[in-house]
Amino acid sequence: MTIFEFSSTSPIANHYIMEFHWYQLLIPVAAATIGYYARHLIERKKELQSEVNKERRVIYQKFVNMVLDMIPSAAKLTDEQASDFDQRMVEFYKKFVLYASPDVVNAMGNYRQYSFKAFENITADFDPRPSYSMLAKVISEMRGDLGLSNWRMGANGKKIFKSILLDYDEIFERKLSIFNWYTFRK
């Protein structure tokens, strides 16, 4: 008599006896192996993402430092300072492009393209709102990339500048009249 045999003559007892098949053991072992391997892949991805996020934090902090250092003196920026800032942006971009998500790269590209065009033709009645809005969008995307919340930061994260700009209300919160709205759209 083996382990799998039952020596009862009762039909009810024989009804509960199962025959052992090798594939019945193979299915749970295969499922456990697949689960272990999937867990290993997920842990490895988290570890890699953690390393990328550490590098992103350093790179994004350099950008925020550059921009926030420039904001107070942006109105009286000399050509030499503007050239130095552009050079630092190029150096920053070399490392930035490797670690930033596509949303951050696109927001940065939009900001830089606008900056190139806007600062070529800067006049006395220059409206800084689009520039600050695009810059806020870049910083907002960087925050999102790092897993931080942008909830209640305003459209495109414009409230990021609320504690930095002395004329924040004048720039962002002013109501546009029909005439101003039309000229702002151009």
Q: Is residue 41 part of a domain?
A: no
Whether 163 is covered by a domain: the verdict is yes
Task: Check pLDDT > 70 for residue 2.
Answer: no
Q: What is the 3-state secondary structure (H, E, C) of the chain?
A: CCCCCCCCCCHHHHHCCCCCCHHHHHHHHHHHHHHHHHHHHHHHHHHHHHHHHHHHHHHHHHHHHHHHHHHHHHHHCCHHHHHHHHHHHHHHHHHHHHHCCHHHHHHHHHHHHHHHHHHHCCCCCCCCHHHHHHHHHHHHHHHHHCCCCCCCCCHHHHHHHCCCCCCHHHHHHCCCCHHHHHHHHC
Give the mean pLDDT of 37-51: 84
> Is position 16 within any domain?
no
Question: Region 19-38: what's the mean pLDDT?
Answer: 84
| Number of domains composing the chain | 1
- Domain annotation covers residue 97: yes
**Residue range 149-156: mean pLDDT, rounded:** 86
Residue 90 resides in a domain: yes
Asked if residue 157 is part of any domain, the answer here is yes
Task: Give the pLDDT of residue 181.
Answer: 47
Q: Please, what is the average pLDDT of the chain?
A: 80
In terms of residue numbers, what domain contains 88? 52-185
Judge whether 78 lies within some domain. yes
The reported pLDDT for the residue numbered 184 is 46
In the chain, the percentage of residues whose pLDDT exceeds 90 is 20
